[in-house]
Structures are given as C-alpha cells and as structure tokens.
C-alpha cells in the first residue's frame, strides 16, 4: 500500500468500502480491532460512570460547547486578540490548501528542513506530511501510534489510537523490516525502540507542529493533552512551533478547562487524566509560535442548525469504539480522515454529501453513539437526516435493487392485505430455500456472516391475536 494510493482517497471522495478502500481494509485486522474497541469502550465507560454526577458533567459540557458554537465569531475574535497580545502570530486558513501554504511559508521563512509532529487530526485533513514532502521537507510523526502507521505507510485507523489494528507482533516485524531492529513483541521493548529513534529527531528538528485540544478564548492560551511526552518535546525542542486548530476547538473560559480535561481522557483512553497536560501561553524567549485556525468546511456546518452540534465534538473517539459497523470494518473503510459515526457526519459535511453519499448508510442506527457521546452530539438523528439528504440529492447512494426493495416494502406496508401477502411470500420463500441445492450463504454479504432466521413454528402474534379475538367474541356472545 503506497502513500499515493492513500492520498488518492482524500481527493476523490469518501465512499464507504469502495473497490479501492476495500484494499485498505486488513481482513485479519478486524478481530483485533473489534476486541480492542470493545475493551476500550467498556473500560472508558467504567471510568466515566464511576463519577456520581456524570450525567450533569455531560450536560454542562454540552451547554459550554453549545454556547461556544453560538458565539463562535466573537469568541474566535477574542481568542486571536489574546493570542497576539502574548506574541503569537495567528493565521486564518479557509481550507486545507491555504493552511498547507501557510505552513510552507513559515517553514521557508525559518529555513526548515525537518519537522517533528505531535498528533493532529487537522494535519491529517491537510495531508500535511505528503504536502511537505513534495516540497523537500521531512515531517516525522512522534506519537507512537502515528509513528507506527507512518512507518507502515498507512493511515490511522482510529482518531485516538491510530495503530489500533496492529498487534504487537506485527509492529515488531515492522520495526525489524524498516528499522533493522531485532524482532520483539514485548510492548516495553517496542516503545524503547521508538523512543531511541525519536529522541535525536526532537533535538535536531527545525520546527515542531502540533494540534490543539482546547483553545481558551478569554486567556489566549491553548491546551494539549498526551501520554508519551512527545508533544512536550515536539513543541519545546525545535525553535519554531506551529499549532493547527479547527475553528470549533474552542472553549470560552479557562474555568471550563478542568471539566474537559476530566472528560476527554476518560472517554478517549479510559484514564482519569492524561500523563501530560500542556498549557501554552505564548512563545518562550527566543522562540517563535504560530497558530493556524482552519475552517475547511466548518462554517458550512455552522450554517446548518440540524448538524451544528457536530461542532461540539472533542474528538474523544468513543463513538467509534461503540459503533458495531466501525468495529467490523475499521477506520480505512470510511475512505477519508474521520471514521465511525462522528466521521460520517463530519466527512459528509466537509467534503460534501455528493462525494460521501454511502457513508450515512454505514450505520445500524442503533443509537449507541448518541447515548455515550460526552458532549451529547446527536449523531444518530444526524445520520438519518444525511441519508435523506443523500437520496434527495439524487446520489448513487442506493442501488436500483435497493430502491426496488424499499419501494416494494413501502407498498406492502400500505394495507393489511398487502402486508399479509408479503409475509406469506417471505415464509414460503424461506421454506423453499431449505430445499435448494445451494446453501443460503450464496445470498451474498448478508448471509455470509450470519444464519438465516428460523421460521417460527408458532403462529405470528397477528394470527394469534385475530384468533383470540374471534374466540373472545364467540364467548361474549
Ligand atoms: S462525536 Fe462525541 S463520542 Fe464521538 S468523538 Fe466526538 S465527542 Fe467523542
């Protein structure tokens, strides 16, 4: 799998499990991914529910983000003024292309040849590494998971744990092949190898690039959380620090930060707090600090009240871990940067429903994502609305066969006789299938992983009810 092939999907859209993205899905990875998501989902929720007032925390976090989004223009203006007062140079980027150009200009100005990067989903949106490489600048990921997927020339499969799909043994083989290290599948040893390799890069890099977890409007500070210490080194060792932020990653006041610092790690990694919390208050002496605020479609979401709560998202990743579809297919199947339920809403709005029309249908609509989201993003209802939007726009989200099935279903549901006839046809069909010379597995994807339901021997409730009612009437008369 080459970096070019991965890049291709960014520009051509984000359809679910296309012929191309199927190639990005590792069949042997699904079991590891499903198990890891399951473990993470339950572990994270246990840490959350150990807090007595958790529902109140959620409501408060929702209210703070709702206020932020409702006053985004004013708060961003305040944030920028306060940043500049601290000596930070701020840029606005309307899209990924402009953000890339700004980073390149800064890099040229400071004669940058090598960059160390902390984890940043905004930089993934920009495909920054690829862009910098095309201009002769090497950008090295320093988050362990990101480092591993960069080494494997893959894309992250999860927004919090990018290498979730890889086992320790697979990483051991990767280090053996790419770094010439002796094979090991011991976690501590693998970490030691990465640490040794990365340490010298921090010291020699010309520029550090990071994301921003929370921008704080009333102080002009910004906060980054991490567990490995790599962000601390990426942002303090090189003489230049560029921080990339989506315009929605803001909170109004410093006093709300502890709330979110408690929530994000609990939901993201099942920790009460991350190992490191960095609060940046302008550049230290002799160093340069830049903040790039990127829109890239976010104001488009802001203009649509029915999708606006998506801007509350703090990127904890928990809705991915709880999504039965994500657990089966992993992150690459979604074709763009953000996977899972949150990814579907963001991607469809950021790249346009025309380019992502199948994503809203990659959901069981079980509603687990809405139930667990710490900031109460109403993901499930937005998924339904996006389905309608995809169909209204006349996209190819539904095949002719799909449309025929749903039209027939709608017709059948319009009257008692029609409904009974359909049920009769289904029952008869299922009885006939048993005697066919080929196995029902031949029905394709639908039956490959599951058995057909057994035909109930007992009459359906409807029949039972009618019979009972007749008997009751008979007895009454
Ligand atoms: S939508 Fe909610 S659960 Fe999903 S990543 Fe965002 S904050 Fe977390």
* Chain segment 175-219, per-residue pLDDT in tens: 999 999 999 999 999 999 999 999 989 999 999 999 999 999 999
Q: Which residue has the higher pLDDT, 434 or 473?
A: 473
> Where in the chain are all domains bearing CATH 3.40.50.10420?
71-296
Q: How far is the CA of 372 from the centre of ligand 1 (A)?
A: 8
For residue 29, the model assigns a pLDDT of 57
Is 373 touching ligand 1 by the criterion CB < 6 Å? yes
Closest to 97 (Cα-Cα) out of 65, 134, 67, 62:
134
- Summarize pLDDT for 429-464 with one digit per residue, the tens: 877 877 776 665 556 555 655 666 777 666 677 778
pLDDT, the chain, mean: 87
The owner of tokens 């992983």 is 449
- CA distances (Å), origin 302, targets 91, 350, 452: 20, 11, 44
Closest to 397 (Cα-Cα) out of 345, 446, 362:
362
pLDDT of 261 higher than 80: yes
d(CA 346, CA 159): 13
For residue 11, the model assigns a pLDDT of 44
Q: Which atom of ligand 1 has the smallest separation from the CA of 268?
A: 8
Q: How far is the CA of 349 from the centre of ligand 1 (A)?
A: 16
d(CA 424, CA 333): 38
Give Cβ neighbours of residue 450 (< 8 Å, ≥ 6 apart). Answer: none
Give Cβ neighbours of residue 291 (< 8 Å, ≥ 6 apart). Answer: 83, 88, 89, 90, 91, 212, 215, 222, 242, 243, 245
Is 315 touching ligand 1 by the criterion CB < 6 Å? yes
**Paired residues of 242 in beta bridges:** 209, 290
DSSP, collapsed to helix, strand or coil, labels residue 220 as coil
**Tokens matching residue 175:** 């280090």
**Tokens matching residue 119:** 């984890």
Closest to 252 (Cα-Cα) out of 54, 55, 53, 63:
63
Q: Which atom of ligand 1 has the smallest separation from the CA of 369?
A: 3
For residue 279, the model assigns a pLDDT of 97
Could you tell me the pLDDT band of residue 8, with boundaries at 50, 70 and 90? very low
Could you tell me the pLDDT band of residue 295, with boundaries at 50, 70 and 90? very high
Probe residue for ligand 1, chosen from 68, 249, 377 as the CB with the greatest number of ligand atoms within 8 Å:
377
Q: What's the mean pLDDT in 227-232?
A: 94
d(CA 279, CA 469): 70
Closest to 223 (Cα-Cα) out of 251, 248, 201, 198:
251
* Percent of all residues in the chain with a pLDDT value above 70, rounded to a whole number: 89
Is 115 touching ligand 1 by the criterion CB < 6 Å? no
**Which pTM was predicted?**
0.84
For residue 6, the model assigns a pLDDT of 43
- Summarize pLDDT for 106-143 with one digit per residue, the tens: 999 999 999 999 999 999 999 999 999 999 999 999 99
Is 156 touching ligand 1 by the criterion CB < 6 Å? no
Q: How far is the CA of 179 from the centre of ligand 1 (A)?
A: 35
Strands 207-210 and 138-141: unpaired
**Residue nearest atom 2 in ligand 1 by C-alpha distance:** 373
* Percent of all residues in the chain with a pLDDT value above 90, rounded to a whole number: 60
In this structure, are residues 348 and 306 in contact, taking their beta carbons and an 8 Å threshold? Answer: no
**If you classify domain 71-296 with CATH, what class do you get?**
alpha beta
**Tokens matching residue 441:** 């597995």
For residue 242, the model assigns a pLDDT of 98
Probe residue for ligand 1, chosen from 45, 315, 383 as the CB with the greatest number of ligand atoms within 8 Å:
315
Is 149 touching ligand 1 by the criterion CB < 6 Å? no
Q: Which residue has the higher pLDDT, 336 or 39?
A: 336
Q: Which atom of ligand 1 has the smallest separation from the CA of 315?
A: 5
Could you tell me the pLDDT band of residue 83, with boundaries at 50, 70 and 90? very high
d(CA 131, CA 3): 12
- Summarize pLDDT for 339-359 with one digit per residue, the tens: 999 999 999 999 888 888 889
Give 436-456 as a DSSP string.
Answer: SSS-GGGG-HHHHSSPPPPPP
Could you tell me the pLDDT band of residue 30, with boundaries at 50, 70 and 90? low
Is 359 touching ligand 1 by the criterion CB < 6 Å? no
d(CA 61, CA 283): 29
For residue 450, the model assigns a pLDDT of 61
d(CA 288, CA 285): 8
Q: How far is the CA of 61 from the centre of ligand 1 (A)?
A: 12
Q: What's the mean pLDDT in 79-94?
A: 98
Closest to 367 (Cα-Cα) out of 358, 376, 355, 357:
376
Q: Which atom of ligand 1 has the smallest separation from the CA of 320?
A: 4
Strands 214-216 and 221-226: antiparallel
d(CA 299, CA 84): 23
Weakest-pLDDT range from 28-37, 103-112, 213-222, 258-267: 28-37
pLDDT of 267 higher than 60: yes
Is 317 touching ligand 1 by the criterion CB < 6 Å? yes
Is 313 touching ligand 1 by the criterion CB < 6 Å? yes
**Residue nearest atom 4 in ligand 1 by C-alpha distance:** 319
Q: Kindly report the CA angle at 166 between 161 and 171, in degrees rounded to 5?
A: 110
In this structure, are residues 53 and 253 in contact, taking their beta carbons and an 8 Å threshold? Answer: no
């Amino acid at each position: 799998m080459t970096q070019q092939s991965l890049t291709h999907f960014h520009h051509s859209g984000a359809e679910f499990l296309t012929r191309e993205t199927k190639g990005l899905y590792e069949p042997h990875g699904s079991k590891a991914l499903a198990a890891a998501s399951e473990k993470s989902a339950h572990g994270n929720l246990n840490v959350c529910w150990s807090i007595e007032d958790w529902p109140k925390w959620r409501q408060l976090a929702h209210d703070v983000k709702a206020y932020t989004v409702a006053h985004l223009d004013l708060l961003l203006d305040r944030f920028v003024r306060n940043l500049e007062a601290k000596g930070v140079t701020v840029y606005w980027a309307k899209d990924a292309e402009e953000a890339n150009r700004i980073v390149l200009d800064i890099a040229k100005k400071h004669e940058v040849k090598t960059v160390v990067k902390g984890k940043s989903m905004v930089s993934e949106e920009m495909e920054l590494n690829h862009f910098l490489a095309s201009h002769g600048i090497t950008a090295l990921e320093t988050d362990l998971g990101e480092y591993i997927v960069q080494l494997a020339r893959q894309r992250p499969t999860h927004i919090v744990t990018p290498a979730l799909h890889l086992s320790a043994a697979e990483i051991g083989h990767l280090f053996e092949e790419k770094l010439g290290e002796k094979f090991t599948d011991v976690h501590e040893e693998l970490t030691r190898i990465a640490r040794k390799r990365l340490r010298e890069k921090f010291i020699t890099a010309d520029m550090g690039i990071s994301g921003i977890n929370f921008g704080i409007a009333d102080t002009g500070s910004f906060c980054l959380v991490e567990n490995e210490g790599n962000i601390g080194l990426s942002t303090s060792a090189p003489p230049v620090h560029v921080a990339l932020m989506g315009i929605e990653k803001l909170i109004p006041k410093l006093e709300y930060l502890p709330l979110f610092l408690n929530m994000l790690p609990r939901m993201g990694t099942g920790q009460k707090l991350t190992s490191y919390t960095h609060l940046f208050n302008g550049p230290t002496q002799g160093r340069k600090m830049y903040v790039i605020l990127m829109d890239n479609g976010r104001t488009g979401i802001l203009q649509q009240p029915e999708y606006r709560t998506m801007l509350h998202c703090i990127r904890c990743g928990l809705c991915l871990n709880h999504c039965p579809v994500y657990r089966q297919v992993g992150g690459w199947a979604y074709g763009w940067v953000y996977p899972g339920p949150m990814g579907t809403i963001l991607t469809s709005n950021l790249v346009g429903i025309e380019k992502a029309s199948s994503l809203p249908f990659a959901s069981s609509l079980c509603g687990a994502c809405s139930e667990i989201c710490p900031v109460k993003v109403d993901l499930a209802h937005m998924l339904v609305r996006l389905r309608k939007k995809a169909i209204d726009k006349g996209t190819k989200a539904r095949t002719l066969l799909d449309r025929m099935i749903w039209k027939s279903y709608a017709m059948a549901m319009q009257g008692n006789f029609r409904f009974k006839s359909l049920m009769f046809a289904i029952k008869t069909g299922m009885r006939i299938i048993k005697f066919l010379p080929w196995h029902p597995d031949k029905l394709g994807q639908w039956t490959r992983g599951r058995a057909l339901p057994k035909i109930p021997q007992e009459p359906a409730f409807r029949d039972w009810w009618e019979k009972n009612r007749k008997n009751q009437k008979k007895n009454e008369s």
